[in-house]
Structure formats: C-alpha cells, structure tokens
Amino acid sequence: MQITLDLPEDICLAVSSGTVTLQQAALEGLACEGYRNGTLSESQLMRLLELPSRFAVHQWLAEPQIPQRYTESDLADDLATLTKLGFR
C-alpha cells in the first residue's frame, strides 16, 4: 500500500535530517506507535523497517527507549529452553 501525505515544507525539513529521509522518519514513527500500543509485533517491525533479525529490532527499540514486551510466559519459555539445552 502506498500513502501520500501533504505536509508543510518547514515540517518536512524539520523531520528529515541529513541521514534520515522523510519516508524513513514516517515509517519509524509508525513503527514506534504501532509497537507501543501493541498493534505491531517484533516480526512486523522487522519487515516494516527491513531489519535483519529480532536482535536488530531490540537494538532499534532501545534507541527511542521503547520497552520490549516480555511476559512471564516468555520468561518461562526461555528458562525451559535453557534447561533443555543444559545451560541451567
């Protein structure tokens, strides 16, 4: 899907910088809000931002200080996996 936005020129210049295009800034804003409110998953962020791995997603989330969604169930699964692999 393609979306077109009509923005005042001064806002376009303020949002985009030398290293970040307006399109990238808009995608990252959408990704931030989508993950914060729970409508986007880590795998969707990976696809949207074209990141190579979930670890890259975690690194990306750290920059704007967006906490990862990690539940007690996730912890239990991770601990069970570590036990199965002999690390615990």
Residue 18 has pLDDT above 80, yes or no: no
What is the per-residue pLDDT across 23-40, written as a single tens digit (0 to 9) for each?
888 999 999 999 999 999
Upper half-sphere CA count for residue 58 (Cβ side, 13 Å): 6
Neighbours of 48 (CB within 10 A): 16
Assess if residue 13 is contained within a domain: yes
In a domain, 34, yes or no: yes
Largest Cα span, the chain? 58
**Average pLDDT value over all residues in the chain:** 90
Q: Express as a percent the part of the chain with pLDDT over 90.
A: 53
* pLDDT value for 54: 87
pTM of the model: 0.73
Task: Report whether 38 contacts 60 (CB < 8 A).
Answer: no
Within-domain flag for 72: yes
Whether the per-residue pLDDT at 46 is higher than 80: the answer is: yes
Report yes or no on 38 lying in a domain.
Answer: yes
Q: How many residues does the chain have?
A: 88
Can you tell me the distance from the alpha carbon of 79 to that of 76, in angstroms, rounded to the nearest whole number? Answer: 5
**Model pLDDT, residue 88:** 82
State the residue range of the domain holding 21.
9-84
